[in-house]
Structure 1
Amino acid sequence: MKSLFAGALALSMTAPAARAGEGPFAFIYTLDLQPQGTWQFEQWEWLQTGQSQGNYYFLTNRSELEYGFKPWFQVGLYVNTEYAYAFRNGVDGTTGGPGTNIDPSSDLSAPYSSFRFKSISFENIVRFMNPYTDGWGLGLYFEPAIGPYGYELEWKLLLQKNFIDDRLVLAANIVFETEQEWRSGATEFASVLDLIVGASYRFTDNWAAGVEFRNHREFTGQLLNEPEHSAYFLGPTIHYSAEKWWATLGWRHQLPIVAAFNDDQRSVVVNGQIFGNEHASDEFMLRIGFPFGGDKRHERY
């Protein structure tokens, strides 16, 4: 028994750090950029499900091709599509929810389903400090997106600190997003301020596990004009990497501690969670990556 424990401990202590280009978190961006001159195809599947009653599913699909332009600069192109299904999921028993685009004059008690192309977005990540060589990591993320239903501009401040020979990764994203959406014949302006923090521990060569926390604050207007609500999410993440691919699966649950700042928002709060056109109870994320275009996968900077 002692020898078995010693062997397991030795394996854990010699597990290597994350390889370049991998995503050990489900929702958080890190500064493990794609090596210069190499490519990666990445597929994102983000499912939001569960409201106060009825049936609700909202699936966001993101297909990305990313390229290591410089050791400190990564670019990527996303094609974003959405599928929504809802049926009497509203607090008042009507059909609706995030991702639905229902005409108010239609039958709000009928089932709703749609698949649509949402947007094309262009990712840019600049790394100013490298967590593997500078002691901690600092970077900036910028992503414009445009489609037939509106446009978005998203900024992220990326922070990262590694411990235990780079096997333990602490990361945070501070996110500002402004958007204009054409919804049900009307134009809506909104902005978002997010804080996302997490920890991931690589306990063997191929496996890592962690936890992610999110505080989502939404505002009317494009410059954080008037607060609408503040919601909180928490959940686990599991990551696996093979020689030619990797995958990360995460789950976040909306905590029952939402703060709503006007009557419209308070009207869709049930048991401390906010629903309506804002959020679901649970979010699941699956990310799968396939690096190619060079034998540089084990580089970390």
Structure 2
Amino acid sequence: MRLRSKAALLALALLPFAPVHAGESPFGWIYTADLHPQGRSEFEHKSWLQQSQSRGDYSYLQNAEEFEYGVTDRFQLSGYFNWSYVNAYRNGVDGRTGGPGVDLGPQADPLAHYRRTRFDAVSVEAIYQVMNPLVDPIGLALYVEPEWGPHERALEWRLIVQKNLLDDRFVLAANLMGETEHEKYYGEVERASMLDFSAGFSWRFTDNWSVGLETRNHQEFEGYRYDSREHSAWFLGPNLHYAAQRWWLTAAWRHQLPMVKAFNEEQREVVIGDRIYGDEHARNEFMVKLGVPF
């Protein structure tokens, strides 16, 4: 082995906080086209908190335990276990208890305090890398994720675009996501679809730390085929990422901007101060992600 190679290996071994590259997630909600190499895997925990509506108390914490595996250098598979906790009390615009994640039964008191922890679903995620952001002009990946649960079934797809600049220290990324949902609670079936566009940047200003910004436009539709447009909402907020040699951590915050558009009377009834609440959104969203590659 050459002396230069030995020195590089020694330096790597002595660095307690060397940054992780493939599979690392510097964004809160945005996916990148940088995948795990063949044979590499990672455990990842995600916690997404939606908090505060127009009044009262509201917190909806969605969690995912994920195992990722690089089948080839261009194809990655993941499995998820999804569970959630919700705490709500008289948070609706009419003073009733409700919001995303709240499923009051026909005999439930709409003015009572609601708390619940439950298993939601399992899902499988497949990502195929069309272009590698480290060697090609841009990174491009295709994503699909079916989900199955006792009350919900969904199919999600994404188009993932990434551009690396400044020796890969500055990352631009954008996702176009679509999803169809089938939900059944207490005999009532809801069929819905959505389009979600998110974009942002992450700047690695030291070997271990990155900071950035993310924006999101969410559009909700009635029916599986984007039949009737219901609302459009915008979010914006920062992200912060730390990468050690054997783990990484990302935290992000998005705030709902006062620029919502509601397209029917039912949606307009839950708009307060140009933000939409009801069963749709909260004022703030927080994300924490922890990854352990092995």
Write out per-residue CA displacement over residues 38-92 of structure 1, whole angstroms, 9 at most, x where no aligned residue: 1100000000000000000000010000101000000000000011110000000
- Distance in 2 (CA, whole Å) between partners of 1:132 and 1:184 is 49
Counterpart amino acid of residue 30 in structure 2:
I
CA contact (8 A) 1:75 1:122 kept: yes
TM-score computed with the length of structure 2 as normaliser = 0.93
User: 78, 93, 96: which is aligned to 1:94?
Assistant: 96
In the other structure, the counterpart of 1:182 is 184
- Say which SS state the counterpart of residue 199 (structure 2) adopts: strand
Q: Matches of 1:56 and 1:184 in 2, distance apart?
A: 23
Letter in 2 for 1:161: K
In the alignment, is residue 261 of structure 1 matched against residue 263 of structure 2?
yes
Stretches of 4+ moved more than 4 A in 1?
none
Q: Deviations over 1:101-127 (max 9, x none)?
A: 102432100000111110000000000
Cα RMSD, aligned residues only? 1.1
- Distance (whole Å) between structure 2 residues aligned to residue 185 and residue 48 of structure 1: 26
Q: State the match for 2:72 in structure 1.
A: 70
Query: Partners in 1 of 2:149 and 2:83 — Cα distance?
Result: 10
Q: Does 1:235 align with 2:237?
A: yes
Q: 2:277 aligns with which of 269, 275, 278?
A: 275
Map 1:16-165 onto structure 2 (within 5 A): 19-165=21-167
For the residues of structure 2 that align with 1:195 and 1:131, how far apart are their CA atoms?
Answer: 20
2:27 and 2:152 map into 1 onto residues whose CA distance is 28
- Tell me, yes or no, if structure 1 residue 224 matches structure 2 residue 231: no
> Alignment length, in residue pairs?
277
Quote the offset at 1:134 in angstroms: 0.8
Partner amino acid, structure 2, of 1:291: P
Residue 154 of structure 2 aligns to a residue whose secondary structure is strand
Conserved 8 A contact 1:215-1:232: yes
TM-superposed deviation, 1:185: 2.8
Matched residue SS, 1:70: coil
**1:280-301 deviation line (CA, Å, top 9, x unaligned):** 0000000000000xxxxxxxxx
Amino acid at match of 1:157: L
| TM-score normalized by the length of structure 1 | 0.91
Unaligned runs of 5+ in 2: 1-17
* Distance (whole Å) between structure 2 residues aligned to residue 88 and residue 59 of structure 1: 18
Cα deviation, residue 17, structure 1: 8.2
Q: Deviations over 1:211-267 (max 9, x none)?
A: 000000000001100000000000000000000000000000000000000000000
State how far apart, in whole Å, the 1-side matches of 2:216 and 2:106 are. Answer: 32
Contact 1:73 1:127 in 2 (8 A): yes
Contact 1:102 1:184 in 2 (8 A): no
Paired with 1:83 and 1:225, the residues of 2 have a C-alpha distance of 31
**Does structure 1 retain, via aligned residues, the 8 Å contact 2:20–2:246?**
no
Query: 2 CA distance for matches of 1:183 and 1:200?
Result: 40
Indicate how the Cα distance of structure 1 residues 126 and 157 shifts in structure 2: closer, same or farther if over 3 A, else same.
same
Identity %: 53
Local SS of the residue matching 1:161: strand
Shift of 1:184: 3.8
1:31 Cα offset (Å): 1.2
